[in-house]
Structure formats: C-alpha cells, structure tokens
Amino acid sequence: MPMYSEKVMDHFMHPRNVGTIENADGVGEVGNPVCGDMMTFYIKVNDGRLDDVKFQTFGCGAAIAVSSMVSEMAMGKTLDEATAITNRAVAEELEGLPTNKLHCSNLGADALHKAIENYRAKHAAQTAGGARND
C-alpha cells in the first residue's frame, strides 16, 4: 500500500466541500479511463470570485483527497487565481503523493479549470446574447 501523508489521509477521511451545487455557474467533469477516477466540480461565482466550490469524485483515496484540497484552495479566489492552481501546487499542499498517484492531482486541477471555462463560456454567451445590433 502506498504511503500517504497525514494531510492526504485527513482529506480522504474527512473530505471538504463534497456535493453538488444546484444551478451551478460552472461545471467541469474529467475522468481517467485507465484508473477509473471521475471528478466533477461545481462552482458558484459572485463578483468574479469563487463563492462556493463543491465536488463529486468517484475514485481512489488520493483522488478524493485531491478533490477536497483543490476545493479548499479555490474557495474565495478570483477566477484567474483559481485557474493558476496547478497539479504541482495541489500535490505540494497535500505534502506529496506517491508517484503512481500523481495523475490524480492533474484531474483535480483540470476539473476545476473546466468548471471555470464552462462558467466563462456561459457568461460570454449571455453577454453576446444581450448585445443589440442597432
């Protein structure tokens, strides 16, 4: 069994921000067909900041811990700050992950980034849709 840091174990045993957000402003879903991990992130944006971040993860302990940590790291951040969260930063914040589990940290950051992209795409469409051609 791989050795996990106490921080990884804490986030696995007591994950933060689990769940969904009804009428989320952005949703991002990623999966790794090799290991079977699936992550979905939901975000609520208020005044350009992540007001709420929730996730649902189907996967190993590392994937759950990563999702929990990413949600905590992103909460309250601006969209640009949250987009700057990298897989390396997530792994470092968790005090390391076993080499064979590093791909999980990619998934967490990717799912968050996809949720932000989804929000920005919806927002751009609403703004464009509201433009008048007169």
Tokens 């469409």 locate to 125
92 vs 75, 89, 100, CA distance in Å? Answer: 18, 5, 15
Catalytic site positions: 35, 104
Question: Is 131 among the domain residues?
Answer: no
Question: What range does the domain containing 32 cover?
Answer: 6-119
Average the pLDDT over 101-114 and give the result. 88
Largest CA distance in the chain: 66
Question: Is 71 among the domain residues?
Answer: yes
Q: What is the mean pLDDT of the chain?
A: 91
Q: How many domains does the chain have?
A: 1
Question: Is 128 among the domain residues?
Answer: no
What predicted TM-score, i.e. pTM, was given to this entire model? 0.90
Cα–Cα distance between 126 and 91 in angstroms, integer? 36
Cα–Cα distance between 86 and 47 in angstroms, integer? 23
Average the pLDDT over 80-102 and give the result. 91
